[in-house]
Structure 1
Amino acid sequence: MTIGTPTRTGTDNGTGTGVGTRTPRPGARIRAARRTACAAALLLAVSAVPTSAVAATAEPSHVEGQLPSGATYLMDVPANWNGTVLLYSHGYTQAGTPNPAQNGPDTATKALLLAEGYALIGSSYASTGWAVTDAVPDQLATLSVFDDRFGAARRTLAWGRSYGGLVTTAIAERHADRIDGSLSLCGLVHGGVANWNNTLDPVFALKTLLAPDSDVPLTGLADQAAATSAADALVTVVDSAQSTAEGRARIALAAALHNIPVWNQPTQTRPAADDWEAQQVNQYDAVKGLLKVAAFNRRQEAEVRAGGNMSWNTGVDYAKLLGQSSVSKKVRELYKKAGLSLKADLATLDRAPRISADPDAVAWMSGTSSFTGELTKPQFSVHTIGDALVPVQTESALRRAVTAAGSGSLLRQANVDNAGHCTFSPAEQLAALHTLEERVTTGRWRGTDAESLNSLAAEADSTTPARYVPYRPTPYLRPYDLAHPADGR
């Protein structure tokens, strides 16, 4: 198998900076030699494996079915199957919406992978919402069905996007014997407890500073109707506050506590570094999106699974968190412009009644959805830097856990210069997969820098953007992992 496909020519597809026709970069010959060596290693590996383990099919196979759990599965195996199966874990599916099986992130990426000879498999999960306790066993069961039908793969790579990145990381930590490596794209790699703590902080600030007399519940939501009502009420408050300089400054403070980037949708204009007002307008849209999507409706569903509230802000120093935020300077500038005292507002947050967690709910979320950082197989984790829903700082939380667990040599991370959640091009996703597969094949990480990844992306698909950049996220503001015992306090 060849890592990457021959370079093609193309034009901008309208999703970002066009790649177009490319000429070889200075390191192209070196990377070509690496791919040749990798292919040779794969050929030797194939010759050492019984032929039944790499079942070639006369025709492409498309298989759909149902697992005993009720989840459905989907498999696509090309006639020229290269012996690698990609186990794809999809993102969060809202209750009451269609929940089909998925075996890839998008049609274009799947087509490229099938053309390269990969087998693609994945399930729907037996339930929607915060479904990790269904998702992990359903994904492993799908892999077993594949093995029974097509023969054991020579190599299995688990990958997933968004919530599927959490599912993939859970598989990587707890079922490493079933896979050879893992790839998380825009994943919730900070884990469940950290996610819900960090989601609580901005809504706590909004309610405390903009609607202190409101009875809007932030946790303990009775049902989805109550969650929708609470979200709508706080969105109305935020909309009203946006009309004043004081309100805009306070919305910016809330956004900073979630590390919401100032460019977070591809449709937005990327603001200048000192255009505080334009930056705040972009964050305002993202704050409303957070309220409508995660802070209430998804929280309510997760609380039902956990058996109570799994997040808290008791003991949190919001002045300290703001100081660590990636967008703290903008907050100070907007407060100054509004003639408002940031110190006074932070003191108001300190005095406000705090929210305690249900210990049993924390234990459930921790046991099912938090990570030890103990990797035994290589993991590659990639994020867009302009992600408001799952901020890029989650990658810092993953690195923190893996480093504490002594698994740092097995983890590599990279970042894409684009706004939005999971807004990767097909080229960028293939480059990440090829990089992971080379690490599995050779036992060494090579080419995880931005230049190498962009070259791999261009070779895989020159018609879509390649936007990897050198980038180091700031620390995650509310980390929680099982490698740090103090996080449980």
Structure 2
Amino acid sequence: MLKSLPTRAVSGLASALAFASSFAATSASAQPASAASPAPAASATAAIPAAVQTTQGALRDGTPYRIDYPERWNGVVLIGLDYASRPPGADATALLAEGYALAGTTRTVTGWAIHRSAANAIETLDLFEAKYGKAKHAVELGQSQGGHTAAVSMQAYPARWAGAVVKCGGLSGSVGQWQAKLDGLFVAKMLIAPQSSLPVTGIAADWQQTALPAWTEALNAAEKTPAGLARIALAARIAQLPEWSDPAKPQPASGDAHARAQGLADSLVRSLLRQAMSSRSEIERLSGGNISSNEGVDYGALLAALDGDGLIASLYREAGLDLADDLARLARAPRLRADPAAKAFVATGVFDGRLAMPVLTLSALGDAISPPASQSFYEGAVGAAGKGALLRQVYTNSAGHCGFTPAETVASVHTLMQRIDSGKWPETNASSMTQAAQATQLGASRFVDYTPPRFQRSYDSCQLLRDLQQAKADPVRLPGQALPACVAPQTAAGR
């Protein structure tokens, strides 16, 4: 039985008070301090939309949901994980004022069971349409884990969605993204504390009291020495983390090797580490094992592909270290093996690229949780499936995870809707996106033309299906969910 609270009419600003991270309020992470990219002014208020009906309740599994329905609905409903979790910023009120309905859930019940979060998005859409009628366009809009969930829901339920804006999502997939994160901590441990009990996988439930403090102490101590900083920088580069992820610091100059190394340390120690403990612990609890592996990984070859500018080699020289010796140590280190049954649990989150609707991704150059390199995997998968015409990817020159300005979010929604309504993408280069952001009158934007590097630790749907077949493990899914397929690469002419 679905439980719901009474529907009530509220002002647009009040109706959005539980507006979640898929329309995140402008935060400190949206304000990089850089001469090249000045901090945008926070936009805390906006014109209040017309009256909005708000419905709140719980889905069948107990997950809270929220629906905001504007008085003059334009026929589009935007749905995302975390919608019902946190207060909004000016992006929410602007979209409500334009007639968009907003709806979604929280992750409090499902957590990293992404296939369940994807199903909850469909259940929320069903509730919305039962109350207000069929939407002209149902669109996913999510960020971070909500962005990953949006991509999973599009793949699992392709007939239900007209499109998606995916912000700072883990688009290298449920396994690939965690292989890269594993690499960062594995390399750091093997070079800084190889005899320690610091966990890379098998993260205990009490990680906040045990694993996280132990890791933080070891890395903080190492970072104070040139040798330790060089090794942390190597680990961060192997994980393809950005050199700038702290919005409180200026963007490092290309010629400032120390600042760049410190930026890599910020990304590993003060961004990735906590997520690598908290999220991996939950994923392992839900899936019953480890979903990522570094078997067969040649870290020397990986570094050669990633350190084209020689930053790591120069840091090693200045610290008086022998890079070849450390790479040899990594080559000798015992590898970590994934559990096929755990991979089966996250199977719906491995992307095959077979888009059935237009998708716009929005990513920050300085995001250490969803690094820009991970976006290139998604682009490659979509292109190989012959669906490249349906995808556009845009970037902001900003630091921090998901710290987008209201103008950047709303401009992204507008751009996707132009593609849905007309069947043709508008220009999505930085200049055009900046113009679209300016048209919102919601403040500054930081769009930049950018091509991400190749994601080195990819894990595609063909690998997934081979691994599960060999292990005789059935992929986990809910009724009605499509599974990823092994797709033969298509030529451009087949798009």
Provide the residue aligned with 1:82 in structure 2: 74
**Helix, strand or coil at the partner of 1:264:** coil
Q: Match for residue 424 of structure 1?
A: 404
- Shift in Å, 1:336: 1.4
- For 1:62, the equivalent position in structure 2 comes to 54
Q: Check the 8 A contact 2:396/2:446 in 1, yes or no.
A: yes
- Relative distance call for 1:412 and 1:425 in structure 2 (3 A) is same
CA distance in 1, matches of 2:251, 2:287: 39
**Structure 2 partner of 1:465:** 444
Q: CA deviation at 1:456?
A: 0.6
The question of 1:453 aligning with 2:433 is answered yes
**1:481 aligned residue:** 460
Aligned residue in 1 for 2:228: 247
Shift in Å, 1:123 = 1.0
When the two chains are superposed, the root-mean-square deviation of aligned CA atoms in Å is 2.3
Query: 115, 134, 145: which one pairs with 1:152?
Result: 134
Give the letter aligned to residue 362 of structure 2.
Answer: V
> After superposition, where does 1:91-170 map in structure 2 within 5 Å?
101-102=84-85, 106-125=88-107, 127-170=109-152
Asked if structure 1 preserves the Cα contact closer than 8 Å seen for 2:237 and 2:264, the reply is no
**1:93 aligns to what?**
none
| Separation (CA, whole Å) in 2 of partners of 1:129 and 1:289 | 22
Deviation at 1:217, TM superposition (A): 2.7
Which among 257, 262, 268 is matched to residue 243 of structure 2? 262
Deviation at 1:308, TM superposition (A): 0.8
Q: Which amino acid aligns with 2:379?
A: R
SS in 2 for 1:172: helix
Partner of 1:180: 162
In the alignment, the residues of structure 1 paired with residue 189 and residue 368 of structure 2 have an alpha-carbon distance, to the nearest angstrom, of 20
Mapped pair 1:278 → 2:259:
yes
AA paired with 1:120?
L
Report the CA distance shift for 1:226/1:107 in structure 2 as closer, same or farther (over 3 A).
closer
Choose the corresponding residue for 1:441, options 401, 409, 421. Answer: 421
1:10-25, aligned counterparts within 5 Å?
A: 15=31, 17=38
- What is the distance in 2 between the residues matched to 1:299 and 1:310? 9
Task: Structure 1: state its 5+ residue gaps.
Answer: 1-12, 21-56, 91-99
- CA apart distance, 1:58: 9.3
Q: CA offset at residue 106 of structure 1?
A: 3.0
Structure 2's unaligned 5+ residue stretches are 1-27, 33-37, 42-48, 471-495
In structure 2, relative to structure 1, the CA distance for the partners of 1:113 and 1:58 (3 Å cut) is closer
Structure 1 equivalent of residue 196 of structure 2: 214
Amino acid at match of 1:299: R
State the SS of the aligned residue for 1:167: helix
Secondary structure of 2:342's match?
helix
Q: Deviations over 1:173-213 (max 9, x none)?
A: 12121111111001111111012111110111111111111
Q: Secondary structure at the match of 1:252?
A: helix
- Is the Cα–Cα contact under 8 Å of residues 115 and 152 in structure 2 kept in the other structure? no
Aligned residue number for residue 13 of structure 2: none
- Residue of 349, 358, 364 corresponding to 2:345: 364
- TM-score normalised per structure 2: 0.82
Instruction: Answer whether contact 1:73 1:122 (CA < 8 A) is retained.
Output: yes
Greater Cα offset, 131-140 or 202-211:
131-140
The code of the aligned residue for 2:357 comes to K
C-alpha separation in 1, matches of 2:187 and 2:87: 35
Counterpart in the other structure of 1:294: 275
Distance 1:441 1:106 in 2: 27
Q: How far has the Cα of 1:483 moved from its partner?
A: 5.1
CA distance in 1, matches of 2:318, 2:50: 69
Shift of 1:59: 4.2
Deviation at 1:231, TM superposition (A): 2.5
One-letter amino acid matched to 2:457: R
Shift of 1:267: 0.6
Equivalent-residue separation in structure 1 for 2:207 and 2:372 (angstroms): 30
Distance in 2 between residues matched to 1:66 and 1:231, nearest whole Å: 33
Aligned residues with identical type, % of pairs = 36
| TM-aligned CA distance change 1:146 to 1:423, over 3 Å | same
Q: Can you list the C-alpha shifts for 1:210-262, whole angstroms capped at 9, x where unaligned?
A: 111112232223x3115741222122111111121111110110110112211
| Aligned-residue offset at 1:469 | 0.9
SS class of match (2:217) = helix
Match of 1:374?
Answer: 354
Aligned mates of 1:138, 1:295 — CA distance in 2: 25
CA distance in 1, matches of 2:340, 2:127: 38
Cα shift at 1:271: 1.5
Q: Is the 8 A contact 1:228 1:296 kept in 2?
A: no
- Does structure 2 retain, via aligned residues, the 8 Å contact 1:312–1:356? yes
Shift of residue 126, structure 1, vs aligned partner: 5.7
**What is the CA–CA distance in structure 1 between the aligned matches of 2:111 and 2:173, rounded to whole Å?**
15
What amino acid maps onto 1:248 in structure 2? L
Count of residues in correspondence between the two structures: 428
Given the superposition, is the C-alpha separation of residues 101 and 449 from structure 1 closer, same or farther in structure 2, using an over 3 Å criterion?
A: same
1:48 is matched with: none
The code of the aligned residue for 1:331 comes to I
Q: Given the superposition, is the C-alpha separation of residues 291 and 379 from structure 1 closer, same or farther in structure 2, using an over 3 Å criterion? A: closer
For residues 354 and 93 of structure 2, the distance between their equivalents in structure 1, rounded to whole angstroms, comes to 34
Amino acid at match of 2:205: Q
CA distance in 2, matches of 1:257, 1:339: 20
